[in-house]
């Protein structure tokens, strides 16, 4: 992969370099952003190199100057958003990028639109405080306790529900605390004009349910005002910007539901009574025939994924913070229990042509946190070539999940994916008011 091809995948930042008014008033801010962007890009490339054992680019080639030079080529403003030199449509109107950087105990955030930097904020805060605030939000939603009976685990392992020494606080307080860290006042004030937000996270910030943060004075949730997508790195900001064709998305879907799992001495795997019904309902909407139960073998799934337009998995998923590539996997059918594991390492080494993967399984949005984001199942599908992955941050009950996914697939016919997910969340919230039942899914990729 050539340096120009990689760096050209960040076209959204062209406005930062060309915004004369901003550059004149704060000439060092643009340079600083490019320097940090380059540093994060280097970390991302380093992580991908370690994961795939193959160099993608010489790290010395990435600098603030080279990014600026590449961004200045071929992009021009046009009606409805930015167009590249080949005429491909990029982001929808009123899209902004929220980009984070963490270094030396300082968390910095930039909110960037098509006309330049909207807001900037920095704060001194430890990694531990960020992690504990995120964990406190999960505690307040009670999601770990609720999903304990639904999560596969090794029989000898102990599932920790709440970290020792951390007192549970109210949900409102937990939301407020995390909002103040991730959406500080300068950023929050500018969000009122945003309809599609792309978050480029660091560390475990990518596993935050942004939908339930409350940055607005009217106390509404973020999802009430805009759709939210998580871009795993700056490398991905320019990926899959073309206008998607719903006919292609629905043309050859592969839908997997409730694979049969034989007994295991070492693992306890709760049943998923609603997964099969969910897969059948989604397949009916998409006019497809699902793979169910014993038919959903790893061999059969792997033989079909390469030519499928959409991948949908209603099954168990396992995340690992220590070894995300080998011990993070989807559970599929097989004669022997562990033969059905489709690992993140295997997934990312598969060539996929699907426009979207939906992981309706527990913890598929989790994995190993590092400086540039999270390595896990969702990232593996993107590395394999799938530009958008709908992932879960925790497991919820069958009825709420099935309802949300049916709403999502129905909206996909007429809405861009991030907005389709937003509309599905809003619809399910009318029936299930608890955020733990409607806010667990997130779009991993870009709005389109």
pLDDT over 60 (residue 371):
no
Between 276 and 22, residue with greater pLDDT: 276
Q: Residue 171 — pLDDT band, cuts 50, 70, 90?
A: very high
pLDDT of residue 215: 97
Q: Determine the pLDDT at residue 255.
A: 97
CA distances from 141 to 146, 398, 422, 427 (A): 9, 18, 20, 20
CA distance 336 to 261: 8
> Over the stretch 288-339, which tens digit does the pLDDT of each residue have?
999 999 999 999 999 999 999 999 999 888 877 777 777 788 989 988 888 8
At residue 9 the predicted structure's pLDDT band, cuts being 50, 70 and 90, is very low
Question: In this predicted structure, what is the pLDDT of residue 87?
Answer: 40
The answer to whether the CB of 332 falls within 8 A of the CB of 296 is yes
pLDDT at position 231: 83
Please give the average per-residue pLDDT across 211-228, as a whole number: 96
Q: Could you tell me what percent of the chain has a pLDDT over 90? A: 38
Domain ranges of the chain: 3-99, 122-235, 243-444
Residue 259: half-sphere exposure toward Cβ, Cα within 13 Å: 33
Average pLDDT, the chain: 76
DSSP string, 23-91: HHH-HHHHHHHHHHHHHHHHHHHHHHHHHHTS--S-GGG--HHHHHHHHTSS-EEETTEEE-TT--B-S
Residue range 253-271, pLDDT digits in tens: 999 998 988 877 777 677 7
Locate tokens 């280097």: which residue? 42
Q: Say if residue 379's pLDDT is above 80.
A: yes
Query: May I ask the CATH class of domain 243-444?
Result: alpha beta
Q: Please check whether residue 229 is in contact with residue 445, taking contact to mean a CB–CB distance below 8 angstroms.
A: yes
CB contact set of 413 (below 8 Å; sequence gap of 6+): 246, 250
């Amino acid at each position: 992969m050539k340096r120009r091809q990689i760096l050209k995948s960040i076209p959204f930042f062209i406005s930062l370099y060309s915004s004369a008014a901003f550059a004149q008033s704060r000439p060092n801010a643009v340079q600083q952003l490019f320097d940090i962007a380059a540093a994060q890009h280097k970390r991302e490339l380093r992580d991908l190199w370690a994961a795939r054992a193959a160099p993608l680019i010489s790290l010395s080639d990435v600098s603030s100057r080279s990014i600026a030079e590449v961004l200045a080529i071929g992009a021009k403003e046009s009606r409805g958003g930015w167009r590249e030199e080949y005429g491909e449509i990029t982001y929808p109107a009123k899209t902004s990028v929220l980009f984070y950087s963490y270094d030396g105990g300082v968390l910095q955030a930039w909110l960037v639109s098509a006309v330049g930097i909207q807001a900037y904020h920095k704060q001194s805060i430890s990694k531990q405080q960020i992690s504990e605030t995120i964990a406190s939000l999960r505690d307040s939603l009670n999601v770990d306790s609720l999903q304990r009976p639904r999560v596969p685990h090794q029989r000898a392992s102990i599932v920790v529900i709440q970290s020792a020494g951390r007192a549970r606080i109210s949900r409102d307080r937990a939301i407020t605390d995390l909002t103040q860290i991730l959406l500080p006042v300068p950023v929050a004030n500018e969000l009122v004009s945003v309809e599609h937000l792309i978050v480029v996270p660091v560390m475990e910030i990518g596993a935050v349910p942004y939908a339930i943060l409350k940055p607005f004075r009217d106390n509404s949730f973020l999802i009430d005002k805009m759709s939210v997508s998580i871009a795993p790195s700056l490398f991905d900001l320019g990926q899959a910007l073309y206008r998607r064709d719903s006919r292609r998305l629905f043309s050859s879907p592969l839908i997997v539901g409730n694979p049969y799992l034989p007994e295991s001495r070492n693992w306890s795997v709760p049943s998923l009574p609603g997964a099969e019904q969910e897969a059948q309902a989604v397949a009916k909407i998409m006019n497809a025939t699902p793979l169910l139960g014993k038919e959903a073998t790893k061999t059969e799934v792997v033989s079909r994924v390469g030519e499928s337009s959409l991948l949908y998995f209603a099954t168990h998923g396992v995340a690992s913070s220590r070894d995300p590539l080998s011990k993070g996997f989807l559970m599929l059918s097989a004669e022997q229990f562990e033969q059905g594991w489709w690992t993140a390492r295997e997934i990312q080494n598969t060539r996929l042509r699907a426009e979207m993967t939906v992981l309706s399984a527990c913890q598929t949005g989790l994995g190993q946190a590092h400086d540039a984001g999270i390595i896990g199942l969702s990232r593996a599908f993107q590395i394999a070539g799938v530009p958008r992955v709908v992932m879960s941050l925790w497991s919820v009950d069958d009825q709420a999940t099935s309802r949300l996914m049916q709403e999502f697939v129905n909206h996909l016919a007429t809405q861009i994916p991030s907005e389709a997910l937003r509309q599905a969340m809003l619809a399910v919230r009318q029936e299930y008011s608890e955020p733990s039942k409607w806010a667990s899914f997130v779009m991993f990729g870009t709005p389109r």
